[in-house]
Amino acid sequence: MSDEVTIFLTDRVDLFAETRPDEMALLDGKVTLTWRAIASRMNDWATRLSALGTVSGTPIGLLTGNSFDGICSMLGILKCGAYPVFLPKHASQLALSAMVDDSGMETCLIDPALLSGLETDKTESISLKTNEQLTDWREDRAFTRPDISAGSNFNCVYSSGTTSRPKGILQSHQLRGAQIESGTLMGIEPGKVSILSTPLDSDTTIVGLVGALGNGAAIVLMEKFSPEGFVELSNIYRTTHTIMVPVQYERILDSFAFTAAPPESIEVSICTGAPLPIHRKGELAKRWPGEILEVYGLTEGGATTLLSLKGQPEKHATVGMAFPGAELRIIDDDGVELSANQVGEIVGRDKHEMTGYTDEEAQSSVHWIAPDGLRFLRTGDLGSLDEDGFLTVQGRKKDMLISGGFNVYPRDIEDVISLQETIRDVAVVGRPDERWGEVPIAFVVLKAPTDLSMLRDTVNAQLSKTQRVADVFAIDEVPRNAGGKADKVGLRRIATKEAGNAK
């Protein structure tokens, strides 16, 4: 994409504020904001930040929950030429301080309720207003956005850190502009209503936010997700689009609220962020209203796939084909490209790719250069492509076990366990073993009381010898981040500790 065709989100907000000023743009069940009101608050924040001496290209921290003012301040940061650094509100004080240092921010906008979460003398903190105070804002200010190039930073968002230290990922206006264009492929346009229920610091939410606002659709914002709240708000506002992670879809499917009054207005739903169990794909295809698409991809971009759960049922074991304009390949540990149905690291290239990491050291090993000279982003995920070009993901490369000299992929074991009637959720990790090197350990969330020894024997009868589970532990919930990914680092610690206690 060239600078001439890049769509800038703040320009779109100004356009809709001029052409459709009194139409509702943000709703949450209690407060509503028109396009005019959003633009006014955006310009107010841009003016205030510029008065502080903020210049183009400046990183500004944003620590907030899902709130209208969090969105409006984000737009204001962009309007004055700076870029927001999204800080996870549930991160520890130590982790937040590390992100402050890593990003280089000197100013941070913070929800008053979260002030105690960030204790550092390296930033100047500015409190955000609460939703109840929004009506007190003045709407008579004007601000002209400085020139911003397509390659300028739109935002910095931090990776989940489920397998390593979180990395700061820089994304450009060009990338977000491409995502606005992709939103049109999903039918997002004026008159449509998108419901967002994942945290604002999640790339999943940002993609949904950009796609909706950039195409003139209204947004219903959930401050905190619940299946009942999702169903209620979707039915009240006749929502047409949503983007969520698998665990949210599963909780909604299992709720009485969905069974009693499914939101039939939904036209297109996207499931992303983590693997979706095969049996759940079939259930969603049967019960969920409208089109439902599974999207595989990284916050870093590069490798993105799309699967229609209703249109491609024979491919439910995969995550679909490369997104239009993207290209995927599979490579081994030596960087040699593999053939169809061979498992290796997934690499990809497309226009939805990050600018880079804030950490130059992390940046140095993120690409693979093909023999034909093309540059591909390394995903760190293992998978294979079938003869039709459909991608099957086996999990993170760091999650793979080597047991008795054989590669064992936790995803294969999880798929088998998830088919058991008494299992609500599952995560499999490796545990060090003196005899085999590593053995699989399963953590399960039960729907009903279950004999874990019998469960292990039943599952192992369906697995190969090297895949057989050594232990099964019942837990209340699989620990997951905001993107729905299981915290396998933490689970491996628990598995190793349990083994030590058993000696």
3-state per-residue secondary structure call for 201-262: CCHHHHHHHHHHHCCCCEEEECCCCCHHHHHHHHHHHCCCEEEECHHHHHHHHCCHHHHHCC
pLDDT of residue 317: 93
Render pLDDT for 27-42 as a digit per residue (tens, 0 to 9): 987 889 999 999 999 9
Most confident segment among 13-27, 108-122, 454-468: 13-27
Cα distances from 449 to residues 213, 426, 445, 455, 495, in angstroms, run: 46, 15, 10, 11, 21
Q: Is residue 131 pLDDT above 50, yes or no? A: no
Element (H, E) at 19: helix 9-19
pLDDT of residue 136: 46
Element (H, E) at 393: strand 391-396
Render pLDDT for 276-324 as a digit per residue (tens, 0 to 9): 888 899 999 999 999 999 999 989 988 899 999 999 999 999 999 998 8
pLDDT of residue 285: 97
Q: For residue 356, what pLDDT band results from cuts at 50, 70 and 90? A: very high
> Averaged over 345-352, what is the pLDDT?
90
Q: Where are the alpha helices (DSSP H) in 52-122?
A: 68-79, 93-103
User: By the 8 A CB rule, do 96 and 74 touch?
Assistant: no
8-state DSSP, 318: S
The rounded mean pLDDT for the chain is: 89
Q: Is residue 88 pLDDT above 50, yes or no? A: yes
Residue percentage of the chain with pLDDT more than 90: 63
> Averaged over 159-182, what is the pLDDT?
84
| Residue owning tokens 């933490």 | 490
Render pLDDT for 240-288 as a digit per residue (tens, 0 to 9): 999 999 889 999 999 999 999 999 999 999 999 888 888 899 999 999 9
pLDDT of residue 164: 56
Q: Is residue 238 pLDDT above 70, yes or no? A: yes
pLDDT of residue 483: 72
Q: Is residue 332 pLDDT above 60, yes or no? A: yes
pLDDT of residue 92: 79
Contacts of 92 (CB under 8 A, 6+ apart): none
Q: For residue 134, what pLDDT band results from cuts at 50, 70 and 90? A: very low
pLDDT of residue 157: 95
Parallel, antiparallel, or unpaired for β 193-196 and 107-110?
A: unpaired
Contacts of 57 (CB under 8 A, 6+ apart): 81, 82, 83, 152, 153
pLDDT of residue 268: 98
Contacts of 91 (CB under 8 A, 6+ apart): 99, 117
Angle (deg, nearest 10), helices 246-253 and 278-287: 60
The tokens for 404 are: 């008795």
CA torsion 468→386→354→292, rounded to 10°?
Answer: -90
Q: For residue 119, what pLDDT band results from cuts at 50, 70 and 90? A: low
> Averaged over 458-469, what is the pLDDT?
91
User: By the 8 A CB rule, do 173 and 206 touch?
Assistant: no
Greater confidence, 324 or 78?
78
The tokens for 63 are: 């620590």
pLDDT of residue 503: 47
